[in-house]
């Protein structure tokens, strides 16, 4: 009787904790669905554009960035989801390795950005310059730039004259554009009592001095505004960084625990 009971316990015993297994499955499944949503939004945004984005602005196209991020997320979370469900060590190791690589890359970028702030600012400046140059070529890019300038109450990268980088807003005498020496309406300060936005409020502003321009637009560059925002919202920035890091660390730890348990299960059978 006792011998039969011990045999039944040995047959039903498993090194694999079902709570860890199914938690990792649902954790991966949630982000897998989220990755599909990101890809769908990116593909839809790309398909809705009337014209093809020029090659030079390909890497700063918000739709392309969404698709790339979504595809990478889809691959990683698919490995975690199926690996946990099927107890597949190879998929779980791929999931753990990929997630570790992404986490370490983000950590390295954050550390390098902190210690090499000037070089980071220059790199971001080149990115924003491309965005300004192709402001009229890509509607998604245009909306993104307008949103940033309105939210941060800034204009250009270093200052409002940076909009001369754009073909339409270029302030040279040879520029035939009707928007010569102007800035986008998103640079303009809101007028109290006016509900309708005056899209021509930034016309001719680049020819004005700083104090004169400040009467109608935000003359400060977005680079300085971003630094000021981060310094005044350190707690929020820290919380966002922690919120980004914790799911990745949790995925790595859970997958490693499950891999260890599966290996113990295999060894016990052999």
* Digit-coded pLDDT (tens) for 19-42: 888 899 999 999 999 999 999 988
pLDDT 10s digits, 140-181: 889 989 999 999 999 999 999 999 999 999 999 889 999 999
Query: How does DSSP assign 16-43, residue by residue?
Result: S-HHHHHHHHHHHHHHHHHHHHHHHHHH
Q: What is the pLDDT of residue 236?
A: 87
Q: Which residues pair with 227 in a beta bridge?
A: none
Task: Reply yes or no on whether the pLDDT at 226 is more than 50.
Answer: yes
H/E stretch holding 262: helix 234-269
Query: How does DSSP assign 58-73, residue by residue?
Result: GGG-HHHHHHHHHHHH
CA distances 222 to 94, 108, 190, 193, 226, Å, are 40, 24, 18, 26, 6
pLDDT 10s digits, 86-132: 889 999 999 999 999 999 999 998 888 888 888 888 888 888 898 89
Could you count the other beta carbons within 10 Å of the beta carbon of residue 179? 19
Query: How does DSSP assign 131-175, residue by residue?
Result: HHHTTTT-HHHHHHHHHHHHHHT--SSSBGGGGGGSTTT--STT-
**Residue pointed to by tokens 């698919």:** 78
Task: Reply yes or no on whether the pLDDT at 76 is more than 90.
Answer: yes
pLDDT 10s digits, 248-259: 999 999 999 999
Query: In this structure, are residues 184 and 135 in contact, taking their beta carbons and an 8 Å threshold?
Result: yes
> What band does 4 get if pLDDT is binned at 50, 70 and 90?
very low
Q: What is the pLDDT of residue 233?
A: 86
Residues whose CB is less than 8 angstroms from the CB of residue 146 and which lie 6 or more positions away in sequence, other chains included: 184, 185, 186
Q: What is the pLDDT of residue 1?
A: 43
Q: What is the pLDDT of residue 57?
A: 56
Torsion of CA 92, 95, 101, 102, to 10 degrees: -150
Percent of the chain with pLDDT over 90: 46
Could you count the other beta carbons within 10 Å of the beta carbon of residue 84? 26
Q: What is the pLDDT of residue 263?
A: 87
Q: What is the pLDDT of residue 201?
A: 86
Instruction: Name the more confident of 94 and 199.
Output: 94
What burial class does residue 196 get, using C-beta atoms within 10 Å of its C-beta: 0-12 exposed, 13-18 middle, 19+ buried? Answer: exposed
Q: What is the pLDDT of residue 156?
A: 92
Q: What is the pLDDT of residue 218?
A: 92
Query: In this structure, are residues 231 and 237 in contact, taking their beta carbons and an 8 Å threshold?
Result: no
> Model's pTM, two decimal places?
0.78
Q: What is the DSSP letter of 84?
A: H
């Amino acid at each position: 009787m006792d011998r039969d009971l011990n045999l039944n316990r040995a047959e039903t015993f498993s090194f694999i904790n079902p709570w860890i297994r199914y938690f990792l499955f649902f954790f991966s499944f949630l982000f897998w669905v989220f990755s599909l949503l990101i890809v769908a939004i990116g593909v839809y945004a790309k398909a809705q554009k009337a014209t093809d984005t020029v090659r030079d602005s390909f890497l700063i196209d918000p739709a392309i960035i969404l698709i790339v991020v979504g595809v990478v997320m889809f691959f990683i979370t698919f490995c975690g989801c199926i690996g946990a469900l099927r107890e597949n060590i190879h998929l779980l190791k791929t999931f753990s390795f990929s997630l570790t690589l992404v986490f370490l890359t983000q950590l390295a970028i954050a550390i390098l950005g902190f210690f090499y702030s000037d070089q980071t600012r220059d790199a971001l400046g080149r990115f924003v310059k491309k965005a300004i140059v192709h402001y009229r070529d890509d509607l998604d890019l245009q909306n993104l730039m307008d949103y940033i300038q309105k939210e941060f109450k800034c204009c250009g990268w270093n200052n409002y004259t940076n909009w001369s980088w754009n073909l339409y807003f270029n302030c040279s005498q040879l520029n035939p554009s009707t928007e010569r020496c102007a800035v986008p309406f998103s640079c303009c300060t809101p007028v109290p009592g006016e509900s309708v936005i005056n899209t021509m409020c930034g016309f001719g502003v680049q020819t004005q001095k700083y104090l004169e321009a400040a009467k109608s637009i935000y003359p400060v560059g977005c680079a300085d505004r971003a630094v000021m925002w981060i310094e005044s919202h350190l707690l929020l920035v820290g919380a966002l960084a922690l919120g980004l890091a914790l799911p990745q660390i949790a995925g790595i730890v859970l997958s490693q625990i499950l891999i260890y348990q599966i290996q113990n299960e295999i060894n016990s059978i052999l």
